[in-house]
């Protein structure tokens, strides 16, 4: 876990899994790099938010496309966990558990899980419930909701979540960081 600057209650906290994904980002807002996966993200956020709460959380990173033709940068509408069966667990424990989290009025659905999706078979199964897949977004949204903070998830398509995903993600990381930074700058100008 690394934090680029002290957290301020007047500024949002930018959250990313890797330093490479935010390497080109130009901002005076603090950036928290959590490490890859749900647990690393949860632990990093827990430590970072222990003393000071930011004005909100903004998760910036890459995601695999679960549908053909998806490219570019997207603001996520809804996020869910693809590796946690809410219905089954609710039945087993006899009470509801946290399910999907709605974040915006429009945009793609993001499925989060600790699995790096890199098979056509898994991609097709997940495409029944989501448009994109990542490994940290749900945690950021859940921590924000639990803390009473607004959350925004910004994801740039890095790969097709198929057999080429690992090679593609690594090969395009620098270009994806540049695209995220350009979209970030454009989005801040439009607000």
* Alpha carbon distance, N-terminus to C-terminus of the chain: 30
pLDDT per position as a tens digit, 72-93: 999 999 999 987 777 775 667 7
Q: What does the pLDDT profile of the chain (191 residues) look like in tens digits?
A: 899 999 999 999 999 999 999 999 989 999 999 999 999 999 999 999 999 999 999 999 999 999 999 999 999 999 999 877 777 756 677 877 688 999 999 999 999 999 899 899 999 999 999 999 999 999 999 999 999 999 999 999 999 998 988 888 888 888 999 999 988 877 654 44
Residue by residue, DSSP assigns 85-105 as -HHHHHHHHTS-----EE--S
Tokens 């090679």 belong to residue:
167
Domains of the chain: residue spans and CATH:
2-171 (3.40.50.1580)
Distance CA(48)–CA(86), nearest Å, equals 28
pLDDT per position as a tens digit, 8-29: 999 999 999 999 999 999 899 9
Tokens 């330093």 belong to residue:
19
Residue 62 three-state SS: strand
* Integer angstrom CA distances of residue 151 from 23, 78, 92, 123, 154: 21, 11, 30, 26, 10
Q: What global pTM score does this model have?
A: 0.91
164-171: Cβ within 8 A, 24+ apart: 164/118, 165/64, 165/116, 165/117, 165/118, 166/116, 166/118, 169/62, 169/64
């Amino acid at each position: 876990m690394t934090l680029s600057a002290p957290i301020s209650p007047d500024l949002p906290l930018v959250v990313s899994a890797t330093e490479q994904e935010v390497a080109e980002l130009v901002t005076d807002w603090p950036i928290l790099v959590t490490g890859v996966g749900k647990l690393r993200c949860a632990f990093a956020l827990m430590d970072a938010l222990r003393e000071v709460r930011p004005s909100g959380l903004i998760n910036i990173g890459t995601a695999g496309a679960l549908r053909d033709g998806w490219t570019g940068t997207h603001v996520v509408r809804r996020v869910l966990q693809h590796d946690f069966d809410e219905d089954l667990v609710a039945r087993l424990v006899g009470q509801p558990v946290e399910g999907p989290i709605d974040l915006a009025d429009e945009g793609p659905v993001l499925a989060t899980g600790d699995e790096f999706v890199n098979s056509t078979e898994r991609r097709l199964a997940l495409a029944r419930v989501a448009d994109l897949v990542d490994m940290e977004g749900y945690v950021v949204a859940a921590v924000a909701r639990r803390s009473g903070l607004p959350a925004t998830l910004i994801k740039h398509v890095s790969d097709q979540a198929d057999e080429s995903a690992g090679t593609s993600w690594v090969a395009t990381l620098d270009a994806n960081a540049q695209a995220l930074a350009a979209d970030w700058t454009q989005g801040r100008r439009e607000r």
